[in-house]
Amino acid sequence: MASLNVGNLGEYLREQRRSAQLSLRQLADAAGVSNPYLSQIERGLRKPSAEVLQQVAKALRISAETLYVRAGILDAERDRDEVETRAVILADPTLNERQKQVLLQIYESFRKENGFEVAPADETGHGTGAPGTQDTQDTQPPPDTAVRGPRTADGSDAGPQQTAS
């Protein structure tokens, strides 16, 4: 995880709060955090958790991912690529929901194998890279996948095995 860039984050939050025409107290109330704590975040004195950033983003009606990137929690380019990959899989009309979930699980396992963290799920249950949430793992094969028998050396399916009587 990258180090937190709280100075840049604080300036950005202050700018967004002023653009939304909210006082520090109004934003703190809307986000469910204390006024002094929010002030310390804006001044770059505190490192907020992903959960606090998510609450503040919701109160400001901006993307939580934007705040995660500003805070250094997410790597913008890498995580954007991951989100786009997931979006393409989920948007494919030729796949059923079960197939989409299996593809996402395979994608996550390859990422994990290659040393990248597996992205947690968003509120729809699909991974987005938002910290603080979880993916559900389903280990059953898709219902339309046939269980195959042994294969021959050339990779084709072996015929039914005959037993001597």
For the chain, percent of residues with pLDDT exceeding 90: 39
Q: Write down the pTM of the prediction.
A: 0.47
pLDDT digits (tens, 9 = 90+) for 11-29: 999 999 999 999 999 999 9
Residue carrying the six token digits 């968003």: 122
| Cβ–Cβ < 8 Å for 57, 66 | yes
| Whether the predicted pLDDT of 136 surpasses 80 | no
What's the mean pLDDT in 67-78? 78
Token pair belonging to 70: 């500003």
pLDDT for 149: 46
| Cβ–Cβ < 8 Å for 73, 4 | yes
Ranges 57-61, 62-66, 153-157: which has the least confidence: 153-157
**What is the C-alpha separation between 71 and 102, in angstroms, rounded?**
32
